[in-house]
Amino acid sequence: MYYMKKQIPDKIYLQVDAGEDGEISDSSGVTWCVDRINDSDIEYVRAKMMTISEFVKQVEARAEEKMLITHKLEGAHYAAMKEVEKEYEERL
């Protein structure tokens, strides 16, 4: 699995064989390349996924910072989780 992840490009370009009206009748005319070939190519970027352990690590660190500042345990993890989630969604 590690080897496969190293081989998957972060960005590809879809080449679509659309008709004169610009509509794609089926996917048989669709291919891809890591380089842009035509002006009509569609850029496709692979989303960066966060693992659960990365998410938990970030939430724990952020919650600890909040507790040290506020001296309150209550709500620190929930607030930290919402912040990390929002930052992640903004990157996508």
Which tens digits make up the pLDDT trace of 1-36?
444 556 778 889 988 876 666 666 666 678 889 999
| DSSP three-state, residue 32 | strand
Residue 76 pLDDT > 60: yes
Q: Do 34 and 61 reside in the same domain of the chain?
A: no
Q: Do 57 and 86 reside in the same domain of the chain?
A: yes
Q: Do 35 and 58 reside in the same domain of the chain?
A: no
Q: Which residues neighbour 60 within 8 Å (Cβ) at sequence distance 6 or greater?
A: 77, 80
Number of domains in the chain: 2
Q: Which of 90, 15, 85 is nearest to 54 (CA)?
A: 85
Q: Which residue has the higher pLDDT, 61 or 89?
A: 61
Q: Do 26 and 6 reside in the same domain of the chain?
A: yes
Banded pLDDT at 80 (limits 50, 70, 90): very high
Domain that includes residue 65, residue range: 52-91
Provide the mean pLDDT of the chain. Answer: 82
Q: Do 27 and 59 reside in the same domain of the chain?
A: no
Residue 60 pLDDT > 90: yes
Q: Do 37 and 58 reside in the same domain of the chain?
A: no
Tell me the one-letter amino acid at 23: E
Q: Do 8 and 37 reside in the same domain of the chain?
A: yes
Joined tokens for residue 34: 């890591």
Q: Do 41 and 10 reside in the same domain of the chain?
A: yes
Q: What is the DSSP letter of 35?
A: S
